[in-house]
Structure 1
Amino acid sequence: MAPSLTYSVADVLAVAKLHPFYSDSQYPPDDDTIQKAREQAALTFKEADLQAQPLLRKKHLYTVVERLVGDASPQNTYRHNVYTSTTGGGGGGNSLFFATDVMENRRHRANFGTFLRNTGVIQRGDWVLTTHNAGDLYRSLDLMLEVLENAGGTLLAAGNRMPSSKVVELLQTYHVNTLTGDGSQIVQLVQYISTMTTGRDKIKLEKIIYTSEALNSVQKAHIYTVLGPVKIFSVIGSAEAGPYGASNPDLTPVDPSASYTDFVVDTRTNLFEILPLSLSESDRFASPLPEGETGIIAQTSLARLRNPLVRYVTSDIGSLHRLPEQARDIIPEKDWPFMRILRLQGRDSRFSFTWDGEYIEFDKLKKLMSDASFGVLQWQVILDKMEPSKEASIEIRMLCAERNETLLSRQEVVHHLHEFFYVYSSNEHRFRATFVDDLDGFERSETGRKVIKFVDRFTT
């Protein structure tokens, strides 16, 4: 069978049965085995039943990924000719990646570029400057360069380490009309622009496209105050599924104070199930809720075949909706039946939170803070917003045992925290480690006076 832009549910399930993500197989199937599985699936006239497939959890997925990444056997096809996309998320140790077939990845990026053009995010003639990350195994810069070029834009690759003064110079010199970057990078640059005493009139931005980290209503208001009536778009994706959705205010207008973001998604490339909020870690199966109801999102990619992603529990909270009729003016008629709104309301706070575009998993953070060499007796995470920039800040408060020869110095503890949270020159001003003297140094509940492990002042 010829390569496809997307695959059928039957194709994906046929390969999943043979893959170590979902079976006891030692290695993923090779190309010949995948071909035979697809041919066999095509001979079966029974409709593929996605809900008969067990749910895939991140913990299990990356246990298998860790084994496959570390196995250099020639028979291990997981390591053959793949695009490596690091998981991020803070956690120390060796970086893991979800491996995608290189050619699948290229076709997916081309297809997603067309999607961005058809949803009105990018049009021919747009000049786009991107401040996305590159290096240290991060691939967001090359991802956004390629998909936005495929959509019809002309790109300038500033990257995340270029000084704000130089970025502004590029915006002015090349008459850039679109700025894209992680949410925190966008806010940081806008704050710099707000301090400029000359030259602001030479900045002609019309669009902002943010990724990775949601902008809250306060940050958006700050952007409008500084830049004027720009349109704020967003693109969503993950290491496992690649890019899969876009937010366009012309398609899905919302109340500026809303605590959610509406993303347009194409059900020909990704299927989304909304599972009950009562879903527990031990549940292997669950039936999806009707459209409009809120729950935990499970995702199946129809653009990934060699290493399939099936019923993957993302830990995001959201709901599915039909597009408003006004969107027909933008969406091509042939695409209309397949488009849906994925209303994203944030992470499931039982398992993780987001800072600087990274998913921070509580289990990994707890493991780090429990390291005996740290000597941490109690700790707390506080997400906040800086003034006047509205940037997202994070503070780690710690009550520690007295230092002795068996414990790391406080400086060494902070160094490990920097590694865990991926703190570097561009975000270090938004990170703080605080050592407190007693429990009064923590935010505590009003009733039981217990230390609140996670305090979120950013999204409230």
Structure 2
Amino acid sequence: MLLESPTMIPNSNYSLADVLSVAKIHPFYVTDVQYPPDARTIEAAREQAAKEPIEANLRAQPLLRKKDLYTTIERLINDTDPRNAYRHSVYASVTGGGFGSKPLFFATDVHENRRHRANFGSFIQNMGIIKHGDWVLTMHTAGELYRSLDLILELLENAGASVLGAGHLMSPADVVRLLVDYHVNILCGDSSQMAQTVHYISTLPQEERAKLHIDQIIYTSETLTAAQRAHIGAVLGPVKICSIMGSAEAGPYAVSNPDLTGKNAAAGYEDFVFDTRDTLFEILPPSFSENGSDPVPMSEGEQGIIAQTSLARLRNPLVRYITGDVGSLHPLPEQARGLIPDIDWPHLRVLRLQGRDRRFSFDWDGEYIEFHHLTTLLNNEECGVLQWQVILDKMEGSPESSLEIRLLCSPRDRDLISEQALIDRIRTFFHAYSGNEYRFRLTLLKDLSGFQRSSTGRKVIKFIDRFN
């Protein structure tokens, strides 16, 4: 049966023709355009596009690469010229995955942002993630320019839930106390927070655990591993595991609900439902290189690199953006038809997400760490790092991940930053703080013997993944 619906908000996203008309005059896509168009220019472009007799052609637009996007964003953030519309009336959300001295943000028009959140909250409710009477506690991050807490609070409230904003600094003991005191039935956080909190609950006496009434979790960021899912089930019982997918560039755009896609908890992928009126995806061949040409998208069911186009972003459009994720497209299972409003069914598809393309990045504590950003940081001459290694591992006796950074540095001199400044810079990059301190380790080595090396060439392995 269909779920009880909140006050519906009409879908107010933009047409593909609208989005492409702005992309053609925007510095994200045209190198000789200095500033994003103002409101009058955008409206004129939309009016002109409406007069075009041919259908909008997405593939006529070049692919957008992350490094090119953020090179342009950095220029626009630093330009205080009054003509620079990029800095006007924007919602600023920093990109995850670490940053250097100045974080970069994808600027979204404040009104587009609120409208998108309202639409997506309604989508969350229609997809069965939230039902009437749900109480949610969220542990998402706030502060240091991160906006995930206010995003989740607003989305779930728009979906009809009552939501408690615990945030990321509250201890697991205090989180559990709130869960009990307010009879919360849904626990929400990024996947690393979920693993940490559930592990803490597993250490409680049975009489304390019996006071909890959690029947569902909603997680974000990287996909839960099979071991983490099994641990959650062993500790909390047969809870429903749902997820919300989003990014700083596109905002929220898909949800995972096993009632719709099936209860397959196989390791390695997660099925997300999205609305083609909100976002479009293309799947590019796995052999595709970020520096390569524009390939022909793959067929339904074939796995490859994901390129995304948002129909919720107009002022600063996101068109054919290479997300760095690997996945495939599928139809929504017929079994879900009775759970979906008839008006929405033709527009819904499944994005089967396999995870990050590990040629370019890895996941740590709910953030995507880009290898080229990491290399730029550690190869900076003033840091004096002679050799480095990053090890993503499993915590002993826990499903949580740990991260160790091993460094061999030259002796400090006047041309180099201090050892403490280097440590602080690295901790900032990896967003290390009191909540994940026990899982983060930075080791300064005296020689190469402390590095793990390849068995053949004896080369230092830059990144070692023992977690996935």
TM-score by length of 1: 0.96
Superposed counterparts of 1:15-34, under 5 Å: 15-23=22-30, 24-34=32-42
Partner of 1:160: 168
- SS of the residue 2:210 aligns to: helix
The answer as to whether partners of 1:51 and 1:286 remain within 8 angstroms in 2 is no
Instruction: Choose the corresponding residue for 2:431, options 409, 415, 422.
Output: 422
Following superposition, the deviation at residue 410 of structure 1 comes to 4.1
Q: Distance in 2 between matches of 1:264 and 1:442?
A: 43
- Secondary structure class of the residue paired with 2:460: coil
Higher mean Cα deviation, 193-202 or 19-28? 193-202
Deviation per residue, 1:268-304 (Å, 9 max, x gap): 1000000111212223422210010111100000011
Match of 2:370 among 358, 361, 374: 361
2:152 to 144, 156, 161: 144
Q: How does 1:279-358 map to 2 (within 5 A)?
A: 279-358=288-367
Deviation track 1:344-400 (CA, whole Å, cap 9, x = no partner) reads: 111111211111111111111112211234332221111111122211111111233
Q: Secondary structure at the match of 1:199?
A: helix
Q: Distance in 1 between matches of 2:11 and 2:232?
A: 41
Assess if the C-alpha contact under 8 Å between 1:208 and 1:232 holds in 2: yes
Q: Deviations over 1:204-238 (max 9, x none)?
A: 00111011132111111111111111111111100
Contact 2:121 2:157 in 1 (8 A): yes
Matched AA of 1:113: G
1:189 aligns with 2:197: yes
Q: CA deviation at 1:408?
A: 4.6
The one-letter code sitting in structure 2 at the alignment partner of 1:10 is A
Tell which deviates more after alignment, 353-362 or 404-413. Answer: 404-413
Q: Are the equivalent residues in 1 in contact too, given 2:187–2:214 (CA < 8 A)?
A: yes
CA distance in 1, matches of 2:414, 2:320: 49
* Structure 1 match to 2:120: 112
Give, in whole Å, the separation in 1 of the partners of 2:266 and 2:328. Answer: 18
1:223-302 superposed matches below 5 A: 223-302=232-311
Secondary structure in 2 aligned to 1:250?
helix
C-alpha distance 175-412 of structure 1, shift in aligned 2 (>3 A): same
* CA root-mean-square deviation: 1.6
Distance 2:202 2:152 in 1: 26
1:324-362, CA deviations, whole angstroms, 9 ceiling, x for partnerless residues? 111112122221111111111111112111111111111
Count, aligned residues? 457
1:43 paired with 2:38, answer no
For residue 4 of structure 1, report the CA deviation from its aligned partner: 6.7
Return the offset for 1:26: 1.3
Partner of 2:462: 453
Secondary structure in structure 2 of the residue aligned to 1:113: helix
Q: Please name the residue that 1:67 is paired with.
A: 75
Shift of 1:199: 1.9
Mapped to 1, the partners of 2:66 and 2:267 lie a distance apart of 29
Q: Per-residue deviation at 1:159?
A: 0.7
- Matched residue type, 1:111: N
Q: Is the 8 A contact 1:88 1:95 kept in 2?
A: no
Match of 1:218, SS state, is: helix
Please list the CA deviations of residues 224-263 of structure 1 after superposition, one character each: whole Å capped at 9, or x if unmatched. 1111111111111000000001111111225433211111
Name 2:181's counterpart in structure 1.
Answer: 173
Following superposition, the deviation at residue 9 of structure 1 comes to 0.9
Secondary structure at 1:162 match in 2: coil
Report the Cα offset of residue 169 of structure 1. Answer: 1.0
CA distance in structure 1 between the partners assigned to 2:396 and 2:260 by the alignment: 32
Mean Cα deviation higher: 62-71 or 202-211: 62-71
Amino acid at match of 1:369: L
Counterpart residue number, 2:399: 390
Cα gap change, 1:37 to 1:408, in 2 (>3 Å): closer
Deviation for aligned residue 1:18:
1.1
CA positional deviation for 1:88: 2.5
SS for the counterpart of 1:251 is helix
Write out aligned runs for 1:87-102 (5 A): 87-102=95-110
Q: Report sequence identity in percent.
A: 64
Give the structure 1 partner of residue 17 of structure 2: 10
Q: Report if the CA contact (8 A) 1:53-1:285 is conserved.
A: no
Deviates most, 372-381 or 203-212: 372-381
Residue number in structure 1 paired with 2:210:
201
Q: CA deviation at 1:322?
A: 0.8
User: CA separation in 2, counterparts of 1:298 and 1:281?
Assistant: 11
| Contact 2:11/2:119 (8 A) holds in 1 | no
**Deviation at residue 194 of structure 1 after TM alignment:** 1.4
Structure 1's 81 and 404: CA in aligned 2 closer, same or farther, altered over 3 A? Answer: closer
**Aligned-pair distance for 1:401?**
3.1
165-174 or 280-289: which moved more?
280-289
Moved more, 152-161 or 405-414: 405-414
* TM-score, L = length of structure 2: 0.94
Tell me the amino acid that sits aligned with residue 101 of structure 2. G
1:405–1:67 Cα change, 3 Å: closer
2:91 maps to 1:83: yes
Structure 1 residues not aligned, in runs of 5+:
none
Residues 90-132 of structure 1 show CA distances to partners (whole Å, capped at 9, x for unaligned) of 1212111111111111111111111111111111211000111
State whether structure 2 residue 225 is matched by structure 1 residue 216.
Answer: yes
1:67 to partner: Cα distance: 1.3
Name the CA distance, whole Å, in 1 between partners of 2:246 and 2:370: 18
1:51-74 Cα offsets, whole Å, 9 max, x none, are 010011111111111111122222
The letter of the residue matching 1:21 is F
Residues 102, 51 of structure 1: alpha-carbon distance in 2 compared, 3 angstrom cutoff: same
Q: Distance in 2 between matches of 1:89 and 1:322?
A: 31
Q: Distance in 2 between matches of 1:445 and 1:229?
A: 43
Task: Assess if the C-alpha contact under 8 Å between 1:177 and 1:206 holds in 2.
Answer: yes
Residue type of the alignment partner of 1:41: A
